Amino acid sequence: MAELKPGARFKSAVCETEVVVIAAPEGELQVTCGGVSMLGEGESADSDSQLAAEAGGGTELGKRYTNAAGDTELLCVKPGDGSLAVGGETLVIKGAKPLPSSD
């Protein structure tokens, strides 16, 4: 369990994935990648952690991942093999809103 403060960075314990919190509800939440709790600043992985097969969808660089309620959003800053979940709910890619470039 961890506090998901905007700007906080989490690393996967089982793959290369790294995310930055864009938005999340207050309070302690469980954030996982590949089915295993992600690591906050200064935390290190247990050597026997393994990517769970059912959580192996992978992450893509630069995609924003969100929950159904839309109140939690993680930005993938390094891609990897695991998929992301918060509080047990698997996050999905937030659809891109096509906007013309204005600058």
Residues in the site for other proteins, rule: CB under 8 A?
6-9, 20, 22, 61-64, 75, 77-78, 96-103
Alpha carbons 14 and 49: distance in angstroms, whole number: 6
Q: How far is the CB of 75 from other proteins (least distance, A)?
A: 7
What are the φ/ψ torsions at residue 95 (nearest 5 degrees)?
-60, 140
Q: Which is nearer to other proteins, 88 or 100 (CB)?
A: 100
Q: Which is nearer to other proteins, 47 or 102 (CB)?
A: 102
Handedness of CA 62, 83, 32, 28 (dihedral sign): positive
The maximal CA–CA distance of the chain, rounded, in angstroms, is 49
Q: How far is the CB of 46 from other proteins (least distance, A)?
A: 25
Alpha carbons 71 and 90: distance in angstroms, whole number: 14
Q: Which is nearer to other proteins, 49 or 94 (CB)?
A: 94
Q: How far is the CB of 79 from other proteins (least distance, A)?
A: 9
Closest CA relative to residue 91, chosen from 60, 52, 46? 60
Q: How far is the CB of 74 from other proteins (least distance, A)?
A: 12
